[in-house]
Amino acid sequence: MNQTRDGGAPRTAVVIGAGMVGLSTAWFLQERGVDVTVVDRDSVAAGASWGNAGWISPGLSIPLPEPSVLRYGLRSLLDRNAPLYVPIRVDVGLWGFLLRFAAHCTMRAWRRSMQGFIPINSQCLDAYDQLAENDITVPTVDAPITAAFEKRAQAADLLRELRLIRDSGQEIGFAEMTGDELRERMPQVSQRVELAIRLDGQRYVDPGAYTKALGEAVVKRGGTLREGFTVTDIRPDSGAIAVRSTTGESVRGDVVVLAAGSWITGLARKLGVRTRVQAGRGYSFTVPTEQPVPGPLYLPAVRVACTPYQGKLRVAGTMEFRGPDDPLDPGRIRAIIASARPLMEGISWEDRTDEWVGPRPVTPDGLPLIGATKAPGVYVAGGHGMWGLTLGPITGRLLAEQITTGKRPEALAAFDPLR
């Protein structure tokens, strides 16, 4: 496996995508002495990196396809207000993706994929710490993620999943709490909540601020950032690799990293990557609260994630399989509010701001695509689903190691883009 087209160590790199994964890869390439140019079709954190829940949660970074997800999806298919939404329309690519996703919703497939996540999950917080020790001053906050349930019986699926995670070999600490115990710590939880499960050893962050700080650090270290650069082609060019835009502009590097999130597939297919990356869009908004929120709150029964955000509360939810550039659907915001309102108090739902939709890049087997393509010197980093924020820095660190040494780290073996 060569680092560059001629087998030499790369001196320059072009990273396509200024989200968490792309900028992390750029930063860690700079750590290894590579001169980096980052290009993006829009701007820093313009895709899935800005409005997500901001959880850095190695304990929950697991394969999305699983039998209970398939059962839930089938029940939700015709419910316009369900957290999982698939538009009923003729889209051969989408329905082909969903059929492949369903085929991976077995316990055998989940266990096999989970073994791929464990090595990278175990290193993800260390990668964040490395960034904090250097250029990134936006803090990550240590805090448990607390899952709240209206009825004790609703906790069965999450408890089963947590035991499966632990039995697979991944460390995760969790404990049950009564609703009253949770309300003493988190007054936003309503009297209807009967049981909670606290997941320890997790963190959260302001994802937009963090990603922007990462972009600023890359530029401060000598990198170039070009926004509004929509890539149409990647091809060899006089001993290097040229990345061309819709306007005819071109940038060149010894190596190229395609980290374009939900827009990966069109370019990656030409590079021999057959796995489709589908946009699983998430929604969020910000609301004022009567009292400060002490930490992340998860409402598993309605698939809503809440996080302290700039003195308020960010509320996020929905997995909507539509095009990454489709407009925001206000009905999805209303559905999130309707499902979360009965379980929460002291929230000014009508005073919400920052309504947002972002396309999370989902693969049919739930595994990211990280590594070399068939094109010499061209790599892919994407398809992290809901875990791009959690795994972005460690993805960048491991991929930078592969690019500069020519040796794939063992932790990336399960994520081969050519699988």
Q: Say which range, 69-78, 176-185, 266-275, has the weakest mean pLDDT.
A: 69-78
**72 pLDDT above the threshold of 80:** no
- Please provide the size of the chain in residues: 419
Percent of the chain with pLDDT over 70: 96
At 359 the pLDDT is 97
pLDDT in tens, 279-297: 999 999 999 999 999 999 9
Tell me how far apart the alpha carbons of residues 32 and 283 are, in angstroms, rounded to a whole number. Answer: 36
Mean pLDDT of the chain: 94
Residue 204, pLDDT score: 98
> What are the pLDDT digits (tens) for 334-385?
999 999 999 999 999 999 999 999 999 999 999 999 999 999 999 999 999 9
Global confidence as pTM: 0.95
Domains by residue range for the chain, with CATH? 12-412 (3.50.50.60)
Share of the chain above pLDDT 90, in %: 90
CA dist 133 and 129 (Å) reads 6
Q: Is the pLDDT reported for residue 317 higher than 80?
A: yes
DSSP 140: P
pLDDT at 74: 66
pLDDT tens, residue by residue, 202-225: 999 999 999 999 999 999 999 999
CA distances from 345 to 188, 191, 297, 342, 349 (A): 5, 9, 13, 8, 10
Answer whether residue 33 shows pLDDT above 80.
yes
Confidence bin at 195 (pLDDT 50/70/90): very high
Which residues lie below 8 Å from residue 258, measured CB to CB, with a gap of 6+?
A: 16, 17, 234, 264, 267, 268, 271, 373, 378, 379, 380, 381, 382
pLDDT at 2: 46
Q: Give the confidence band of 314 by pLDDT, cuts at 50, 70, 90.
A: very high
Give dist(CA 393, CA 21) in Å, integer.
7
For residue 84, what pLDDT is reported?
Answer: 82
Give the per-residue pLDDT at 162.
96
What pLDDT, on the 0 to 100 scale, is given for residue 6? 53
User: DSSP readout, 85-128?
Assistant: E---S--HHHHHHHHHHHHT-SHHHHHHHHHHHHHHHHHHHHHH
Distance of CA 192 to the CA centre of its chain: 31
Q: Are 104 and 70 in contact (CB under 8 A)?
A: no
Q: Give the pLDDT score at 1.
A: 42
- HSE (CB half, 13 Å, CA atoms) of 144? 17
Which tens digit of pLDDT belongs to each residue from 74-115? 666 667 778 888 877 768 889 899 999 999 999 999 999 999
Residue 225: closest CA among 10, 3, 22: 22
Question: Helix, strand, or coil here: 334?
Answer: helix
| pLDDT at residue number 78 | 61
Report CA torsion sign: 197, 200, 206, 210: negative
